[in-house]
Amino acid sequence: MAAWVQLVYSKDTQVNISSEFSIIKKYLSGIGTSYLTSNGINLAIGDDCAVIAANSKLLISTDTSVAGVHFLKSMPAESIAYRSVATALSDIAAMGGNPVAFNLSLVMPNFNPSWMKNFRKGLQKISREFQFPLIGGDLAKGPLQISVTVLGKPHTKILLRSNAQSGDILCLSGALGSGYIGFKDYKKGKVLNNKTKSYLFPTAQINYGQEISSIASSAIDISDGIVQDLSHLISSSGVGCNLDLDLVPVVDQKFTKQCLEFGDDYKLLFTVPPKKLSTLQANLNSLNEKCHTIGVMGGKKLIINKNRFGLFRSWDHFK
């Protein structure tokens, strides 16, 4: 039992709804239970561990979202919850995987029933959308922070960052900048509209990742801006790239630089052997998805063509 429980109990002895276990039971249990059996979960929340009957490789990834760093405290709790899971889920998309379940560690400064109710709503929304359940987690008192571990299974091939080959075409799954424009707009108006939606409720491109999984040679999701994430792909694969910035679509040309640098778009950046490109594009078209070709892999370093924006500021927490 956490120290917080004693703390809450001592302050609130009559209404023990505020105890750690009651919060878990009321607000964090029963999310996506209808997907437990189909996703191979034998045991979910309630015991010391969840139990998964894994008959294949599992993809596992954790993402931590800190208030004031990754999201604004003032954002609706529904969005904070949804976003924290979506950003973690984006890593499963980038591996071409299928979501199986998630764990959630929640650190919060106090217990507010209506905030918690909305937080639950966000968890239910994403659980339903991707048909995967919440199977465990942790709860503690402290500055607001959410850490999500997602589990997935490969759909076909596992897409690595490290397998881009010289000659492969560099592709992007959609226009960049919806995160930036959404964030800017939200800070101004604090409302949910078509623009802020893409920041408050970002899309993890799970279907897209699965669609490209058998054909693409490598992939990464763009969380930190295209140059930074492309650099990761390049260094993992040991091959350079010729990127043509004029070919990178952005959602608002008045803010091209910011759209390219901001990140938080969760689009997929991937490489495709040239011979397979037309097949892949046809497959994606039939799903109503776009595939933008923005460069070619080769050489030893990253060459950014048509860079009229000066040096790129890339997001690095430790700089």
Q: By the criterion CB under 6 A, which residues form the site for ligand ADP? A: 24, 28, 45-48, 104, 106, 134, 136-139
Contact of residue 46 among ligand ADP, Mg ion, none (CB under 5-8 Å per partner type): ligand ADP
Residue 106 or 296: which CB sits closer to ligand ADP? Answer: 106
Question: Sheet containing 59-66: which strands, arranged edge to edge?
Answer: 59-66, 145-154, 97-108, 134-141
Task: In angstroms, give the least distance from the CB of 81 to Mg ion.
Answer: 24
Size of residue set near Mg ion by CB under 5 A:
1
Q: Of the two residues 45 and 280, which places its CB atom closer to ligand ADP in the complex?
A: 45
Residues 17-56 contacting Mg ion, CB under 5 A: 48
| C-alpha 185, offset from chain centre | 21
Taking a C-beta distance cutoff of 8 angstroms, is the pair 219, 161 a contact?
yes
- Cα–Cα distance between 214 and 209 in angstroms, integer? 9
Nearer to ligand ADP, 104 or 216 (CB): 104
Cβ-based nearer residue to Mg ion, 46 or 274: 46
233 binds, among ligand ADP, Mg ion, none (CB under 5 to 8 A by kind): none
- Residue 75: C-alpha distances to residues 63, 67, 93, 121 (Å): 19, 10, 25, 14
Choose the one of Mg ion, ligand ADP, none that binds residue 148, judging by a C-beta under 5 to 8 angstroms depending on kind.
Answer: none
Burial of 105 (0-12, 13-18, 19+ CB in 10 A): middle
Looking at the Cβ atoms of 48 and 316, the one nearer to ligand ADP is 48
Closest residue to Mg ion, Cβ-based? Answer: 48
- Extract the tokens encoding 62: 């954790």
* Shortest Å distance, C-beta 45 to ligand ADP: 5
By a kind-dependent CB cut-off of 5 to 8 A, residue 12 interacts, out of ligand ADP, Mg ion, none, with: none
List of residues 6+ apart from 145 with CB closer than 8 A: 64, 65, 66, 67, 106, 107
Distance CA 220, CA 269 (A): 5
- Per CB under 5 A, residues contacting Mg ion are 48
